[in-house]
Amino acid sequence: MNFHTDFTPLTVQPQEIEGKSFEMITEELGTHPFTEEQYPVVQRVIHASADFELGRSLVFHPEAIEAGIRAIREGRKVVADVQMVQVGISKPRLEKFGGSVHVYISDRDVMEEAKRLNTTRAIISMRKAVKEADGGIFAIGNAPTALLELIRLVKEGQARPGLIVGVPVGFVSAAESKEELAKLDIPYITNIGRKGGSPVAVAAVNALSILAEKRG
């Protein structure tokens, strides 16, 4: 089957495309409740998902943006729940401040421990991560079980994240895990409902790294 169209793109220059996209997002989003500091995160999440409902559902702890910028500028580790999040996060921006991205879910010791305890690798990966990424950013876009385990570790005083970006997607425990995250008195970025995913977690962390870079 052959497709034919007379449509031609307005531009093929990457920066111009992004800039035009951001203009369209701002125009279509209209009035919103987000602060000037929070809006760049919302904008990049919508840009990554083309989903305004998802963007409007974002929820920020009052200290989330400053906490995220501080963690990046201090070179703290970023922990991803899955490789898709790790791959999408901009490494050069983090590396400017001595930071790096880590994912533990496929580590041999994590897989062996999960099998031994008959539990998920996502849970065990969080138990390992909190020992190695004190004060870091935890970016969870895929596994609600990872977020719930991280919340448990925080409540028990075993974890001290600088910021939790908790936006897992799905039908089983995804929305509920975010509701639990929003009850914590530590910096977080999350959203209401089932939507989310690795691209959303990536967009949020990348937005924070751009903000950190702009601080000079």
Burial of 180 from C-beta contacts in 10 A (0-12 / 13-18 / 19+):
middle
Does residue 47 have an active-site annotation? Answer: yes
Residues 155-176: tens digit of each pLDDT = 999 999 999 999 999 999 999 9
139-167 CB burial, b ≥16 within 10 A, e <16? bbbbbbbbbbbbbebbeeeebebbbbbbb
What's the pTM value of the predicted model, to 2 decimals?
0.92
Task: pLDDT tens for the chain, 216 residues: list them.
Answer: 555 566 566 556 777 788 888 899 999 998 999 999 999 999 999 999 999 999 999 999 999 999 999 999 999 999 999 999 999 999 999 999 999 999 999 999 999 999 999 999 999 999 999 999 999 999 999 999 999 999 999 999 999 999 999 999 999 999 999 999 999 999 999 999 999 999 999 999 999 999 999 986
Domains, the chain, with CATH or none? 35-214 (3.40.50.10230)
pLDDT of residue 2: 59
Residues 90-113: tens digit of each pLDDT = 999 999 999 999 999 999 999 999
Residues 143-152: tens digit of each pLDDT = 999 999 999 9
Q: Which amino acid is at 128?
A: K
Catalytic residue among 4, 32, 47, 102: 47
Of 44, 200, 58, 73, give the one whose Cα is nearest residue 136: 73
pLDDT of residue 9: 62
DSSP letter for each residue of the chain? ---------S---HHHHHHHHHHHHHHHH-S-S--TTTHHHHHHHHHHH--HHHHHTEEE-TTHHHHHHHHHHTT--EEESSHHHHHHS-HHHHHTTT--EEE-TT-HHHHHHHHHHTS-HHHHHHHHHHHH-TT-EEEESS-HHHHHHHHHHHHTTS---SEEEE---SSSSHHHHHHHHTTSSS-EEEESSS---HHHHHHHHHHHHHHHHHT-
